[in-house]
Amino acid sequence: MRLILLGPPGAGKGTQAQRLVDKYGIPQLSTGDMLRAAVQAGSEVGKRAKAVMDAGELVSDAIVNAIVAERIDQADCAKGFILDGYPRTLVQADAVESMLSQRGIGLDTVIELVVDDRALVGRIVKRAEDAKAAGQPVRKDDNPAVFEERLREYYKKTAPLTGYYYAKGRLKTVDGMASIDAVTAEIEAVLEAAAKAR
Ligand code: AMP
């Protein structure tokens, strides 16, 4: 199963992706996590991405496309994967199409978590508090000022993907404001319906 989770920062993509990993045994490919790992490792990509990420802006399409193209060729992706936080621009969406078609594979479903923006800042602040309480590192971009820029980037560059996938007949929407369990149940229902339709 190859799935894209769409939605603004704080919509719950990572939380839901983690649950799907457990249920379907396929990896979550979070470009945010991969970029943070690159920053942590001090690699060339990490050095180029750090300031952009700290400002809440998007890293260049060339960098993230190259990271994903390399990652999907790894053995654990053979049965499928969940793209979380990628694609985030129309250029990236086109790159996914060609990456998959070059490998003779397709995309099963695109699920958008639909959320109320007003709830998102609160979720991000809570995520930072929870990380701190658990003794985990707090993301530098999980604060209200940077969050506003992340949301602006989302509307400018990522929100158009909804129309892109709708036009291809691939978009499914799920109410991301419901409880975490209810969102998971709704996503699973969408995936089961998609599997039956194949
Ligand atoms: P995330 O963990 O998905 O919220 O991503 C954190 C940050 O990593 C974003 O604010 C961007 O700076 C960068 N990033 C993650 N995924 C992408 C992507 N697909 N395209 C560009 N930048 C990305």
- Give the residues of the chain that fall short of pLDDT 70: none
Instruction: Determine the Cα angle at 193 with ends 189 and 195, to 5°.
Output: 115
Which of 102, 109, 103, 80 shows the shortest CA–CA distance to 4? 109
Structure tokens at 87: 């694609």
Structure tokens at 20: 């799907």
- List helix spans (H) across the chain: 13-24, 31-41, 44-54, 61-71, 90-102, 117-133, 144-153, 160-167, 180-197
The dihedral through the CA atoms of 74, 80, 83, 89 has a sign that is positive
C-alpha 33 to ligand 1 mean position (Å): 8
C-alpha 16 to ligand 1 mean position (Å): 17
Distance, C-alpha 191 to centroid of its chain: 17
The protein residue whose alpha carbon is closest to atom 10 in ligand 1 is 56
pLDDT of residue 197: 82
The Cα 122–Cα 143 span in angstroms is 10
Which atom of ligand 1 sits closest to the CA of residue 55?
A: 12
pLDDT of residue 89: 98
Predicted model pTM: 0.94
Share of the chain above pLDDT 90, in %: 88
The Cα 28–Cα 178 span in angstroms is 22
User: Which residues, 6 or more positions from 68, have their beta carbon under 8 angstroms from its beta carbon?
Assistant: 29, 31, 83, 86, 95, 96, 99
Single out the catalytic residue among 36, 88, 157, 172: 88
The Cα 182–Cα 95 span in angstroms is 32
pLDDT of residue 38: 96
pLDDT of residue 152: 95
Q: Identify whether 127 is a catalytic site residue.
A: yes
> Residues in the chain, how many?
198
Structure tokens at 117: 């923006």
Question: Locate tokens 């400002």: which residue?
Answer: 55
pLDDT of residue 194: 87
Strands 28-30 and 81-84: parallel
